[in-house]
Structure 1
């Protein structure tokens, strides 16, 4: 039973109870007693009149509770005391909290000596103390900030929870990049045509590739989705009935990349003649990309090395020219170093999904110099960072089936 239903039952129950007492001849309640129950029932009804049917909460009760107890202000005071401030001044909320999607948003007045910049520096510590995710925004009012509190990311999210979001998505075919604090994170392929995935063993990289392949086919059954796994392809055997092909060796990947380059040339000619770039999407997911780069640098088997070098050249061609012609690449690697992900390749990757990496250098290779966030990710399977246009967002990757 929802909270909304319980509120309705409680309000109606008060009315029924009063009528029952009044009707019974042997019981004569005092008028003040009856009036008290009528006022309580009326308050519940007034609250229900403004109830948000989607969020299912009672505004009157919620407003009262938010005034009595503000966890964010308490967390700020506790953090200030832990940092050695003897008598810290706290955040003062102006007005009551409001719901905005899945977030609770409030306007706060900063204490003396605190600024928007200094509070932003404490954002991670505050979020950790509160057990939620925070977003601090500057406002037009001097000395005031808007703070949005989002529920903490769950540790396990089923892929089924993300499927309804695709039915409401109006951006077209999109990457499914996990569950964010505001719901599933979807990145349209027309805006982010290529995707780079990085992460150490056990972080959730293989699961992410399965989720992406599954959701692409769910959105566009006519799209071509091919997975290349050069370590045998056993992890993707359950997807044989979903995707178009699972490539397991280097020569077959070389042949497929040649097909893509040929398709690219044909689509370029068609786009020139017809003036259209509307083509059926073709997505290739390459797992263990480091195997290709290491093979290309091998001096033992020169013939295989030449095949790997040719694949790398064709990958760069697709990355540069395929973005507007419906040819998309997903490159995944466990070792995101400068040799595995050259600068030319990294520059053409529009969307990034990184799980926990083992060194700060790897984090900087994926996210850019000075960014250690991927190294600092908690060791939770599926916990990742998404970078779209330089904006980082924490997500929990959905569990494939």
Structure 2
């Protein structure tokens, strides 16, 4: 009972003390609250003290650690500067050993990080990276200690080594001693190696996929080297870079363009390897690098800028059956290109940005393939699935990703981004991002590629490299015509020059003839003088329609020749008439028009009609066209012209409307210029992005100089011409001149006598004196072989003035006199005191051809003057006295006009 009573008294006393304490606390609180109410705002305002936020503290600590780094470096390099440096040097040598040289680096990194964080520019939280560097430092200390020990040393030896300041110091000695005691010497090495790998992974932040790809590449290289040793006759042909069978560059894959079989390996693989090719893994990102064509070894002395042609050393054309001509060597005429620089870190960072941006807009996707080309890098992404509220999974729509091009361009800070959704023949969407630095695509690399060599056509042309770095070529005879469009500076003229250079490097003048139209007078006039030209480059707009009409007559004439021998096309005709006497080989004819807009403005109806008929019917006769324009509008590239040009090349254009005109789809407005183009193949559903071949002025000058100085080496044929007609063109011209001279009466003062009425003996047309063509404006190349003139046509390789000959033949004054509008046209120009083709077209409602023919006749007769070279009308210089009836008729007409 006493004990119970004492416990109760203790509890009551303790409860009383707690109650008093609570009352005091309440009283103080009430007093404080009342005091604060009475004092008002004076007690509520507190003076700010000297406080620092987290970033300011980090900045101060960072500066201090950087200062400590300088002191540590000074202590290691010169420990005798003072007591502090000597003590720090001894401490670091004994504590870390050889790791003392690493400590200033670690402190410098920590101090720099804190300084950047304090300046509101944190490089990102270190996190696992700092832990990884710490593990690497401990591993280094352990290996440093092991290098100073032997296998049978104990703990005393470890401390002695640390006290001497060698090895890994006390820390490294402790790590090595503990591990050696438990797992032995070999186990210690294995543990340190594995721990070091873990620390490197944490420090560098490399992903598992990257690590697996790195180790897989090392394993593939080791396995291929081991397999090549026992069987040197059958080496593994695939290099380690071909890690993605789905890129289109490996064995068994087909090219994107059925017309362009270019993506072929150097050595054809066996069918077993093709059949078991595994698909690429989902997260394995193979970076496709363009493969340079196999190039021969460069000579010690480079070739001169303009090498003289060596006919004994150069090979003849593969498609030429005529001896004497020799095509130049590609390696001597063209320069090699450059490979694009591959930066894996930049590419992986772009992959992270693309995936993060798409996920932030509700369209998650995974990158499954990367292809790097000379201009852009294509990221192949595969849409992921979205979880719905009802638990179902739906895949992200392709159209949703395609609509995020501007957002991706903003996130990547790119100039322009093109999304190909989806890539034809692939299971992903292609996002094309411009490269920081463009690589030059050389025409030589494309012509030396395996795909170009496999094309056996004589009109094969190299176009460029696609986004995977593959060389893309095409066959002009299979197109069969090409339409090129692009703004100024987009690479249109370089593309046209590349096509011409490609044709000149493969064909002799007997196999190919070129007809060039250059209204701007600066793009194609440099080719004057090469023997491939049918005539000098046409630069006058009034003669372009005549050029197209000549092409139409040539096409009709060739069809008549085909009907005589029963041939279907030019190849069949040349094959059947190869050994037939009197039948010459027909060359291919390529018509190149540099600017279509000028022709459509001058004579739209005649130009459209002629081009459309040529495009429809000239393929079988070996006549092909390459037309370029820098204004792809609907009034220039009309529907009738575009329908007959299935092959098109679009460079950078101003708007999506121009892109639809040339390609029937958008995309060309997002191109980068300088050779970046979209090529629409005749048998492909969608255009393919390419980086066009670059041909420098020096390369073009070497090719032109070669052909300008080239001459026949063997037999000089006495007669050669483009238009194969039953009778010689020059002889017909000479006979026509002789007949005209004989038909003209000699002026006499006396009236003609009956004797004069007798028919005059006609000139002998059998042996007329031929008149050489007017070729003064054509630069005549130097040659030791004398030119052979037969029938007014040069056989020494000089081009013939074809248009002048046709004008003299067809524009006969007698034929012109038969035109019923000629007297009215003469009266009109004399009345208005001016003459022009457009004036006659408007007044008489006739076509351009007839009006131009009337103007040419009046110029020949001396009625009007020559063209002034501007848009002004011609001046009337010839005048004849009019009769009174004519004057009265003119006066009446003037009165009618006035009324």
TM-score (norm 1): 0.68
Instruction: Map Cα deviations across residues 278-304 of structure 1 (whole Å, 9 max, x no partner).
Output: 34421111011111111126xxxxxxx
CA separation of 1:254 and 1:215: change in aligned 2, threshold 3 A: same
Does 2:666 match 1:372?
A: yes
Aligned to 1:115: 396
Instruction: Map Cα deviations across residues 319-366 of structure 1 (whole Å, 9 max, x no partner).
Output: 111122211111111222222122111111111112222233322222
Instruction: Map Cα deviations across residues 83-112 of structure 1 (whole Å, 9 max, x no partner).
Output: 3x5xx855386xxx7999999998957232
* SS class of match (1:246): coil
User: Residue 199 of structure 1: which of 462, 468, 486 is its match?
Assistant: 486
**Hey, what's the Cα distance between the residues in 1 that align with 2:644 and 2:556?**
19
**Aligned-pair Cα RMSD in Å:** 4.6
User: Residue 649 of structure 2: which of 343, 353, 370 is its match?
Assistant: 353
Aligned to 2:694: 399
1:384 Cα deviation (Å)?
Answer: 1.8
CA separation of 1:365 and 1:137: change in aligned 2, threshold 3 A: closer
Aligned to 2:612: 316
Aligned to 1:161: 445
Aligned to 1:8: none
1:167 Cα deviation (Å)?
Answer: 4.3
Whether the 8 Å contact between 1:109 and 1:145 is mirrored in structure 2 is no
1:71 Cα deviation (Å)?
Answer: 6.3
Does 2:338 match 1:49?
A: no
Whether the 8 Å contact between 2:383 and 2:397 is mirrored in structure 1 is no
User: Residue 515 of structure 2: which of 226, 229, 243 is its match?
Assistant: 226
**Hey, what's the Cα distance between the residues in 2 that align with 1:250 and 1:385?**
30
Does 2:509 match 1:217?
A: no
CA separation of 1:31 and 1:324: change in aligned 2, threshold 3 A: farther
- Unpaired runs of 5+ residues, structure 1, are 1-26, 298-308
**Hey, what's the Cα distance between the residues in 2 that align with 1:66 and 1:91?**
10
CA separation of 1:99 and 1:257: change in aligned 2, threshold 3 A: closer
**Hey, what's the Cα distance between the residues in 1 that align with 2:570 and 2:634?**
35
Whether the 8 Å contact between 2:442 and 2:694 is mirrored in structure 1 is yes
**Hey, what's the Cα distance between the residues in 2 that align with 1:150 and 1:114?**
22
1:210 Cα deviation (Å)?
Answer: 0.6
Whether the 8 Å contact between 2:632 and 2:662 is mirrored in structure 1 is yes
**Hey, what's the Cα distance between the residues in 1 that align with 2:677 and 2:220?**
44
Using the TM superposition, name which of 131-140 and 115-124 deviates more. 131-140
Does 2:473 match 1:178?
A: no
* SS class of match (1:375): helix
CA separation of 1:339 and 1:119: change in aligned 2, threshold 3 A: closer
1:180 Cα deviation (Å)?
Answer: 1.8
Aligned to 1:91: 366
* SS class of match (1:47): helix
CA separation of 1:257 and 1:74: change in aligned 2, threshold 3 A: same
Whether the 8 Å contact between 2:595 and 2:630 is mirrored in structure 1 is yes
**Hey, what's the Cα distance between the residues in 2 that align with 1:73 and 1:104?**
11
**How many residues matched?**
347
Whether the 8 Å contact between 2:568 and 2:620 is mirrored in structure 1 is no
**Hey, what's the Cα distance between the residues in 1 that align with 2:655 and 2:367?**
40
Q: How does 1:296-335 map to 2 (within 5 A)?
A: 296=603, 310-335=606-631
1:72 Cα deviation (Å)?
Answer: 7.6
Aligned to 1:306: none
CA separation of 1:248 and 1:48: change in aligned 2, threshold 3 A: farther
Aligned to 1:282: 589
Whether the 8 Å contact between 2:677 and 2:690 is mirrored in structure 1 is yes
CA separation of 1:184 and 1:240: change in aligned 2, threshold 3 A: farther
Whether the 8 Å contact between 1:177 and 1:186 is mirrored in structure 2 is yes
Does 2:474 match 1:187?
A: yes
**Hey, what's the Cα distance between the residues in 2 that align with 1:58 and 1:174?**
28
User: Residue 79 of structure 1: which of 357, 364, 369 is its match?
Assistant: 357
**Hey, what's the Cα distance between the residues in 2 that align with 1:138 and 1:178?**
19
Instruction: Map Cα deviations across residues 143-164 of structure 1 (whole Å, 9 max, x no partner).
Output: x945678896745322222221
Whether the 8 Å contact between 1:177 and 1:397 is mirrored in structure 2 is yes
Aligned to 1:12: none
* SS class of match (2:395): coil
1:75 Cα deviation (Å)?
Answer: 3.9
Aligned to 2:548: 257
CA separation of 1:105 and 1:287: change in aligned 2, threshold 3 A: closer
Q: How does 1:13-52 map to 2 (within 5 A)?
A: 44=218, 47-50=221-224
CA separation of 1:384 and 1:78: change in aligned 2, threshold 3 A: same
CA separation of 1:322 and 1:45: change in aligned 2, threshold 3 A: same
Using the TM superposition, name which of 173-182 and 123-132 deviates more. 123-132
**Hey, what's the Cα distance between the residues in 2 that align with 1:345 and 1:42?**
54
* SS class of match (1:253): helix
**Hey, what's the Cα distance between the residues in 2 that align with 1:361 and 1:134?**
18
**Hey, what's the Cα distance between the residues in 1 that align with 2:238 and 2:407?**
29
- Unpaired runs of 5+ residues, structure 2, are 1-149, 152-184, 194-214, 226-235, 244-279, 287-343, 387-393, 572-586, 697-899
Whether the 8 Å contact between 1:356 and 1:383 is mirrored in structure 2 is yes
CA separation of 1:238 and 1:184: change in aligned 2, threshold 3 A: farther
User: Residue 523 of structure 2: which of 216, 235, 250 is its match?
Assistant: 235
CA separation of 1:320 and 1:55: change in aligned 2, threshold 3 A: same
Using the TM superposition, name which of 165-174 and 201-210 deviates more. 165-174
Whether the 8 Å contact between 2:364 and 2:383 is mirrored in structure 1 is no
1:276 Cα deviation (Å)?
Answer: 3.0
Higher-RCO chain (CA-CA 8 Å, sequence separation at least 6): 1
Whether the 8 Å contact between 1:217 and 1:225 is mirrored in structure 2 is no
TM-score (norm 2): 0.33
**Hey, what's the Cα distance between the residues in 1 that align with 2:497 and 2:371?**
34
The structure that has the greater radius of gyration is: 2
* SS class of match (2:670): coil
**Hey, what's the Cα distance between the residues in 2 that align with 1:109 and 1:337?**
37
1:195 Cα deviation (Å)?
Answer: 0.9
More strand by share: 1
Aligned to 1:385: 678
CA separation of 1:323 and 1:351: change in aligned 2, threshold 3 A: same
**Hey, what's the Cα distance between the residues in 2 that align with 1:228 and 1:205?**
15
**Hey, what's the Cα distance between the residues in 2 that align with 1:138 and 1:202?**
28
**Hey, what's the Cα distance between the residues in 2 that align with 1:117 and 1:315?**
40
**Hey, what's the Cα distance between the residues in 1 that align with 2:424 and 2:600?**
49
Whether the 8 Å contact between 2:217 and 2:240 is mirrored in structure 1 is no
**Hey, what's the Cα distance between the residues in 1 that align with 2:474 and 2:216?**
47
